[in-house]
Amino acid sequence: MSIHCELGNQKCKPCEGGVAALDEEACRAYLDALEGWVLAGSAIEKAYRFQNHHEVMAFVNAVAWISHREGHHPEITVGYADCRVRYWTHAIGGLSENDFICAAKVDSLFQL
């Protein structure tokens, strides 16, 4: 089973702070399992393109459902035919495994 599949099958763990953010080496290893996601400071992000605004909004609603189920919420920037999703773990001021789990789950929306 690939790391991406493993990430997508995991559940986010509550994070109240008090743990260290992942170091850059760990982040790069996780990023290798995700297509198109990039390190952006203390976050990861990916831009998605769509045919129209209706598709963008359907995608945003699907991401919102993932966020609700995982208890881990991204920053989402919406345009007419594009959307940027950005994850980081606010409680620790950096990246945690939860960010990569959610990124994999968002990508899995396109495998349905």
Q: The CATH number of the domain where 18 resides is what?
A: 3.30.1360.20
Range of the domain at 100: 3-111
> How many Cβ atoms sit within 10 Å of the Cβ of residue 101?
23
- Two tokens at 34? 């995700």
The backbone torsions φ and ψ at residue 40, rounded to the nearest 5 degrees and listed phi first, read: -130, 85
The backbone torsions φ and ψ at residue 89, rounded to the nearest 5 degrees and listed phi first, read: -100, 105
Q: Residue 112: which pLDDT band, with cuts at 50, 70 and 90?
A: low
Alpha-carbon distance of 3 to 92, in angstroms, equals: 24
pLDDT at residue 31, rounded to an integer:
96
pLDDT at residue 71, rounded to an integer:
94
pLDDT over 60 (residue 3): no
- Whether 104 contacts 34, CB under 8 Å: yes
Per-residue pLDDT tens digits for 38-87: 999 999 999 999 999 999 999 999 999 999 999 999 999 999 999 999 99
pLDDT over 90 (residue 35): yes
How many domains in the chain?
A: 1
